[in-house]
A and B are shown apart, each in its own frame.
Chain A
Amino acid sequence: MGYKPDGTKQELIAAQRQLATVIDLNKCMGCQTCVVACKNLWTQREGTNHMRWMNVTTYPGHGYPRDYEQKGGGFRDGEPQPGTLTTLADCGDHFQFNHDEVLNQGRGQQAQFQPRTAAGEHPDWGYNWDEDRGGGQWPNGYRFYLPRMCYHCSNPPCVQACPNNAIYKREADGIVLIDQDRCRGHRHCVEACPYKAIYFNPATTTSEKCILCFPRVEKNLAPACNRQCPGRTRAFGYLDDPDSQVHKLVRTWRVALPLHPEYGTEPNVYYIPPWSPFAYDDEGRLTGEMRIPVELLEGLFGPAVHESLALLARERAKKVNGEPSELMDLLISRVWEDRFGGFTAAPLEPHGAGGKGAP
């Protein structure tokens, strides 16, 4: 059974299995490798340059697209919520640089290498503009990095909002796709998505978003953001596969949590909530409290974050005391490939004319 544009919305969101990603925020270092990996595969085409289907920003911060949490969409108590569109600036723009002016035009020290917005201005905002700023107060400043992407929701508001039935979940794996032939660029999906994970392509006048690297997944290879993450933050696989780390972390241990569960979209990217270093009191003594206020994490991951953090702390304490912990071993994942739920093919195919090897 494939995608049937004439189907009901219920049929368009039906999926027999669901692929899921778990991102460990204790392991994420904000290096942006996932962003680069994604961009080099999917958003170097005309009209896609401003898009970061995969993005990482510092939390607390404005996030990406800018202030997405204030732009509405999603559901509240089952009711769809109004949303607003994102602008090119919200989406981080696509800075232009003046190599030739600085290096080749004989202007010497009069020329300065610097970014310009797509509109030719000095930028006052851009992708990851508030990198590393974070929150708190010295000496208890804190930050963590929040990688985001399309959540391939089980209750995707984008599918519901599309006036053209151009958005659907793939039946076999639950990947949410926007049919580029059917999409007419109305962008109701952008408004409906509370995570603002959908971007408008002005060249094709269609909306585009993360496709969970389905051409890779079809070749048994984990998405680029997951496989290329040097921090080994990502687990990937089918949620119903009891051998997959995503199943164990989400279903068995219930330690990986959705972002903003109150949006009601049943997202399929889950997060291990972050620890932070111990805070100091006014005298400079260590308090034993973590620097990130738990209320802040509750605002992101809902009340379940308390239980998740407590479980993580208990299991780590076992390891500190020299006792075994299955959960900690799962999060360590000594064998990197174990993270990917069997999606472990080598990223070589298809072999081209020369095949692997020297020219």
Chain B
Amino acid sequence: MAINETEVLPTPGDTGLSRRRFLARSLQSGLALALCELAPGVNLGFVGEVLAGTRQLDYAGWEDLYRREWHWDRVTWGSHTNACSPGTCLFHVYTRNGLVWREEQAARTRASNPKYSDFNPLGCQKGCAFHTSLYSGERVRYPLKRVGERGEGRWQRISWDEALTAVADAILDGHQRGGTSSFVLDGPHVHAGNVASAAVFRFTALLNGILTDHNVQIGDTFVGSLITLGKMQVGYTPDNFFDARLVIMTHSNWSYTAPALYHFITEARYNGTEFVLLAPDANPTTHAVDVHVPVRVGTDAAFWLAACQVMIDEGIYDAGFVREQTDLPLLVRTDTRRYLRAAEVDGGREDQLYFFDTATGHIAPAPRATLRHGFTPALEGEYEVTLADGSRVTVTPVFAQLRRQLDARYRPEQAQELCGVHGSVIRELARKIATRRTCAYTGFSSGKHYHGDLMERSLLLALALSGNVGKPGTGITIWSFPADGISMLAGMEKPVARGGMTIGMDMAQALARDMLARDPETTEELISIEMMKLMTRQLGQVPSSFWMYYHAGYDRLWNRREWQDPAMPRSFGDYLDDAVAKGWWDGLVLPEPGKPPEVVLYMGNNPLRRVRSANVQYPQELFPKIKTLFTVETRMSSSAMYCDYVLPAAWYYEKEDMTLSMTASPYISLIQKAVEPVGEAKEEWQIFGLLLQKIAARAAERGLDGFTDRFGRPHDYASLYQRFSLDGAVHNHGDAVREMVAVKIATGIFPRDYSYERFREEGTVPLHGMGVTFQRHAVANEYDPDKPFYSLRWHTEEKVPYPTYARRMQFYIDHEWFLEVGEELPVHKDIPPIGGNYPFQITSGHPRVSINSVHLANEQLARLHRGQPVVFMNDGDAARLGIADSETVRVFNDVGGFEIMTSLQACVAPSQLIVYYWEPYQFKGWKNFDGLLVGLPKAIHFAGGYEQLRYFYMHGSPYACVDRGVRVGIAKLDAGAA
């Protein structure tokens, strides 16, 4: 009968014409059978019979089949803490039969005012797929004890009591043998959650343990900004793009990393803002910009410096801004290349610097307490100055020296040789920067470049020369968030309502009095920074470079002189030793060299993925020294595989928590508990509370009363839990969120009249203020929810000094180490040949469908791409090497090698290879690409003794994750080196 159908010739006017003809032609085409084969019993001859039997029925009732899918038992608020930046997206979470089935953006944001776009719907593919992670095969459901080799994945399910006892005993053993520094919390990422982060910080502080700084370890520290501005937590809201006429996106790829905010690019572009993307490859955000500037890998500074050369050469820079806000008018001695200082002029302060006043023809002290001055300082010329000892020296403004350097080395045609961008493109953009409201977006890649500091300094120089700082539509965004909720909950002895915040306030006031006595012209911002330095040392928060160098065997990699900047006269280790000997890192070199910790805790941290070369260094060098490795985790990461005990943590929707707000996305959202945790997973606050109770119980059983901390103060074990619970007030995540709301109200991050009850009702709160700690000063502007936010206005309008040595935006650093390597001014330097002498440069970054490694093994998200690691490669390079798309190739350098599948495209630059993040266990033999990256920090970042060359938690210190531009080769599996 099917065959008969094909023989029915259509007749004109027959409404069945089309159907029959389709049917006929389809059958003639042979009914190519799909893998979805027709079920047995279905035969085409049935058609007519069915038609005959159903004439009178209204079949639309079948539609209920789909309508029934849209039904839920309960809808709650959800978010995913700050797995990403911004990561404050509010979702509806839909529950049916005790399981989470889906989530959808709640879309409850608003525009700052009607001239700008709102933030809706705010939430991306990771957020919309998150519930599938709850039930994924990677989930940790029960306490596990390792029964095979570390990393082998052989587990025994144990009870919570057994697990807590084992860990508690290990910590007590460590205290007995090695003191409190025997316990190390290796840098958690906030993706664990705000309450979870506060809990683990609090736990570690109570035990007087060591916390390695995850932020500098992952290179989310912006050393160039710290050098220039004295700070890095500056930012703007993305609607600031509407107020700019030109936006230059650097070190970023928003289509992958900020999908929830990406519309601010496309919408500001429709609004007339021009967008430029500075990136080696035409990355997936290129589609949203007007001009893609394909700088060669690691050569951004050459582009920016050439733009600066054009602005100065053509006289289109903002001289007024330069004279007031920057160090460019300050005088430098031509003989020593050091600033002219009052100590040598008249016996005054060492840090009192000078202008040359063109009105009087004399030098004049540059005010330290304000940027406001009545001088017209010289920007050019050389002047003779008589010093207190009677000697005469020649001085010249920084500006004159800068101009000479730019003219000699960075004319656009010279820069073209360095960065590969045609001089005409640089000139055109320089003129636009100088004449238009311009802001730059500085993503998180500069802190992954060996000379990323020079890139940032050069970029900031271009913004300063053009006056594009501290006004609407200008500036840079790094990241900026008031973290008072976490830090107060981690540190308060009792709740806010019982005066919990007063101890910190008292400490800050005492510090302020002390600092003002020493320098009456100190600033509030400098005091807030000094407070952070104090807290950092109190809490045992330490830079990661020492940790990696002394305990994880990175000396083997980092002391290879041929891989570091050839201008550095000493080895990495020599710089490190020198810096420690000079006392620049006092109180921070912990755990001490030769005294590795006994117990290491990982939480929200997968170092084998995130720490460069850790998949080689940690299992070989670090882990054998550690007696007990334990993790509190939601998912079995590559690193959790190496732990001795894996304690299952509740994930989002299984516990109450809340998000942080960043200026990038100025909302704070509530995460409610929608379902019970899977298996025997528990909330982190509860886990750490139980662990402290177990430590006390075991200590009592073992006859141990207490311990002495690093500062010689005694503590008893018995009271640990009472202190952990803020004197009996906070026992779980629900309590903690209520307390965090109280902190945010008290610190002005929430409106004063806000409440926990209102938070539950509304789900999300627009950011109201920048808190009471250093972040408030760092952004240097009042937060007004009714306007786009931008930073640094207090400097440009209120004339408040910057927290730098020169008290200005400082481009000239006369620190001995900077002078020695020729970096007193921003310069371009090529990336040294880290990894060896190979023709390709590798670059990396966040993948599209995962935040770090959190979602890499999520089946639903992994089905949105090839589901396995790929290397993006230029199609011309591939053709030359005979490499095909989807072919498995070998990538290698002096450190190691890995196998990976290719994806070829014209959007990747020649000689560039791009590998985004993957779990080590996604590679054959777990040899992942991070293994080749070395992470070599730039040794002169150990410099100290100079106001802004300072470290405090999350800020500064050599970032140990340099990977951009590491040298590699690539070859077919059966071929030799490329």
B838 at the interface (CB under 8 A from A): no
Q: Which residue of A lies closest to B907 (CB)?
A: A141
Q: 1/0 per residue A28-41: CB within 8 Å of B?
A: 01111101110111
Q: Is the CB of A285 within 8 A of B125?
A: no
The CA-CA distance from A163 to B909 in the complex, in Å, is 53
Q: 1/0 per residue B35-64: CB within 8 Å of A?
A: 111110010101100110011111110110
Given contact pairs A3-B58, A138-B909, a sample of 17 additional A-B residue pairs in the complex whose CB atoms are under 8 Å apart: A29-B262, A40-B132, A83-B25, A83-B26, A90-B34, A109-B921, A131-B848, A132-B905, A144-B287, A228-B104, A228-B121, A229-B121, A232-B263, A316-B270, A335-B111, A352-B73, A359-B76
Inside 8 A of B120's CB, which chain A residues have their CB? 232, 336-337
Q: Is the CB of B54 within 8 A of A126?
A: no
A205 at the interface (CB under 8 A from B): yes
Q: Is the CB of A132 within 8 A of B270?
A: no
Q: 1/0 per residue B896-911: CB within 8 Å of A?
A: 0000000111111110
Tell me which of A72, A83, A133, A188 contacts B903 (CB under 8 A): A133
Known contacts A2-B58, A109-B151, A352-B72: A84-B270 contact under CB 8 Å: no
Complex interface residues of chain B between 255 and 305 (CB less than 8 A to chain A): 255, 259-260, 262-263, 266-267, 269-272, 274, 277, 282, 284-292, 294
Q: Is the CB of A162 within 8 A of B19?
A: yes
Complex interface residues of chain A between 57 and 105 (CB less than 8 A to chain B): 72, 79-90, 92, 94-95, 97, 99-100, 102-105
B872 at the interface (CB under 8 A from A): yes
The CA-CA distance from A279 to B129 in the complex, in Å, is 37
B919 at the interface (CB under 8 A from A): yes
Q: Is the CB of B868 within 8 A of A114?
A: yes
Q: Is the CB of B59 within 8 A of A331?
A: no
Number of interface residues of B (CB under 8 A): 156
Q: Is the CB of A132 within 8 A of B46?
A: no
Inside 8 A of B863's CB, which chain A residues have their CB? 92, 94-95, 115, 126-127
Complex interface residues of chain A between 189 and 232 (CB less than 8 A to chain B): 191-192, 200-202, 205, 211, 214-216, 218-219, 224, 227-232
Q: Is the CB of B128 within 8 A of A36?
A: yes
Q: Is the CB of A141 within 8 A of B26?
A: no
Inside 8 A of B37's CB, which chain A residues have their CB? 202
Contact segment of B420-428, B596-604, B783-791: B420-428
Q: Which residue of B lies closest to A334 (CB)?
A: B117
Q: Which residue of A lies closest to B675 (CB)?
A: A359
Contact segment of A244-252, A296-304, A317-325: A317-325
B567 at the interface (CB under 8 A from A): no
Q: Is the CB of A115 within 8 A of B29?
A: no
Q: 1/0 per residue A95-126: CB within 8 Å of B?
A: 10101101111111111111100110001101
Known contacts A95-B863, A230-B260: A334-B116 contact under CB 8 Å: yes
Contact segment of A6-14, A235-243, A254-262: A6-14
Q: Which residue of B lies closest to A110 (CB)?
A: B925
Q: Is the CB of B272 within 8 A of A321?
A: yes
Q: Is the CB of B864 within 8 A of A86?
A: no
The CA-CA distance from A199 to B552 in the complex, in Å, is 53
Contact segment of B152-160, B195-203, B704-712: B152-160
Q: Is the CB of B63 within 8 A of A214?
A: yes
A154 at the interface (CB under 8 A from B): no
The CA-CA distance from A84 to B34 in the complex, in Å, is 10
Q: List 13 A-B contacts (CB under 8 A).
A: A2-B60, A3-B58, A27-B267, A36-B128, A85-B32, A205-B42, A231-B262, A232-B117, A284-B416, A286-B424, A353-B73, A353-B74, A354-B73
Say what secondary structure dominates the interface of chain A: loop
A95 to chain B, nearest CB (A): 5
A157 at the interface (CB under 8 A from B): yes
A26 at the interface (CB under 8 A from B): yes
The CA-CA distance from A79 to B857 in the complex, in Å, is 48
Known contacts A32-B849, A164-B50: A132-B903 contact under CB 8 Å: yes
Q: 1/0 per residue B112-146: CB within 8 Å of A?
A: 00111110111111001101100011100000000
Q: Is the CB of A105 within 8 A of B51?
A: no
A188 to chain B, nearest CB (A): 5
Inside 8 A of A283's CB, which chain B residues have their CB? 422
Complex interface residues of chain A between 274 and 302 (CB less than 8 A to chain B): 274, 276-278, 280, 283-286
B391 at the interface (CB under 8 A from A): no
Q: 1/0 per residue A155-197: CB within 8 Å of B?
A: 0010011111100001000000101111011111001100000
B947 at the interface (CB under 8 A from A): no
The CA-CA distance from A114 to B925 in the complex, in Å, is 12
A185 to chain B, nearest CB (A): 6
Known contacts A107-B153, A202-B36: A227-B124 contact under CB 8 Å: no
A5 at the interface (CB under 8 A from B): yes
A137 at the interface (CB under 8 A from B): yes
The 9 A-B pairs of least Cβ separation, nearest first, read A99-B137, A319-B272, A141-B906, A160-B18, A115-B867, A354-B74, A88-B35, A106-B154, A141-B907
Q: Is the CB of A32 within 8 A of B422?
A: no
Q: Is the CB of B67 within 8 A of A331?
A: no
A322 to chain B, nearest CB (A): 7
Most buried by A among B36, B63, B92, B148: B36
